[in-house]
Amino acid sequence: MSEALSLVDFVVGVNSTALNCGVGRAKKKVRQRPELSMEVFDSTMDGNGFIEKKMALSVMIKLLGRKIAFNTLLNKVSILWNIRGQFQLMDLESDFDLVRFQDKDDLDNVLLGGPYVVFGHYLSVRT
């Protein structure tokens, strides 16, 4: 039986023994808005500093009480948040999604804004 990956293992990369767990499926569902490439993070940092920098502008979201398709959620949060920069939405297990922002101001606006409602259900945003 394969183990569930930690968030750190998910972000850095999946090893070959964990490809059969649900996280492998989640890696395929990653989209960016707008359709431009994300700025590449500086990979010269070693150890946990690299992961910390990469995850510093990330939040976890979950739509409470309802499941919707990945692309529908992507479109709804794009409209709700009205973000100036780019962001990535990544589908995780248990109906959670990881959102990584390029700009700290966009992250702050999402955290301070709200509450957010999608199809009559609250969208939970966690740091």
For position 23, which CATH number holds? 3.30.70.330
Q: Give the whole-angstrom CA distance, residue 111 versus residue 126.
A: 8
Q: Which amino acid is at 21?
A: C
Residue 2, in any domain of the structure: no
Q: Give the whole-angstrom CA distance, residue 54 versus residue 84.
A: 19
DSSP structural state of residue 120: T
Q: How far is CA 83 from the centre of its chain?
A: 15
Which structural domain, as residue segments, surrounds residue 25? Answer: 7-126
Residue 98, in any domain of the structure: yes
pTM tops 0.75, yes or no? no
Residue 40, in any domain of the structure: yes
User: For the chain, what is the domain count?
Assistant: 1
Other beta carbons within 10 angstroms of residue 6's beta carbon come to 10
Beta bridge partners of 88: 32, 100
Q: Give the whole-angstrom CA distance, residue 86 versus residue 107.
A: 11
50-104 residue pLDDT tens: 777 778 899 999 999 989 999 999 999 999 998 888 899 999 988 899 999 988 9
